[in-house]
Amino acid sequence: KAGVTQTPRYLIKTRGQQVTLSCSPISGHRSVSWYQQTPGQGLQFLFEYFSETQRNKGNFPGRFSGRQFSNSRSEMNVSTLELGDSALYLCASSYRETNTEAFFGQGTRLTVV
Amino acid sequence: EDKVVQSPLSLVVHEGDTVTLNCSYEVTNFRSLLWYKQEKKAPTFLFMLTSSGIEKKSGRLSSILDKKELFSILNITATQTGDSAIYLCAVDFANAGGTSYGKLTFGQGTILTVHP
């Protein structure tokens, strides 16, 4: 069974640009969550999607948005990038209906210069 | 505000030692507590605990939850250099209907270093 796949693995962007990250969950998993990981703040929840609906959102500015497609794949978008957005962005998938075991992808390392 | 606190923040031991990592939490409508091991990038799932007093075990790792005192411990016996990693504790909490909000609240992590 393939794991959670995130693309791209690494990304370098300039301040003010926008970026789109992709996450393909484990087959059969309908919930996809996104997290930002930085040395200072640790792992922080961005948002969660289930069956194409955003069910929960963390305390991040509106520049961070996402969506989920009918095949459960999810994308996350960050507009008007700031230096502080440099982080490891992790995606996790779970079946969600009966348990909360969440499995993480390898992450996308975003560097904003 | 929901909070998850791990201790110690870092730990250095020698191969063969036994370590105990702590995780305490303050959340409303607790649903489950999860432990992860993060070596380079992807946190790897270790355990999910939902009931008090029932130990979960996998090889040299074990974990237990105390829902009355609101904490969990992760034990690693006979540590090996391959156990060096960040160990993360996360809590999932439920909405009024008892289902998950789909959000994990993480602790800061414990950095474990095992020397040969």
Mean pLDDT by 10 residues, chain B (116 residues): 92 98 90 92 91 91 94 97 97 74 88 97
Q: Mean pLDDT in chain A?
A: 92
Q: How many CA atoms lie within 13 A of A110 on its CB side?
A: 30
Residues of B in contact with A43 (CB under 8 A): 43, 88, 90, 104, 106, 109
- Residue A53, number of CB atoms within 10 A of its CB: 8
Residue scoring higher pLDDT (A15 or B40):
A15
Mutate: best of B36, B51, B104, B110, partner A, most A CBs <10 A: B104
**Predicted local distance difference test score (pLDDT) of residue A96:** 64
**Predicted local distance difference test score (pLDDT) of residue B102:** 74
Q: How far is CA B102 from the centre of its chain?
A: 18
Instruction: Kindly report, residue by residue over A21-33, the tens digit of the pLDDT.
Output: 999 999 988 899 9
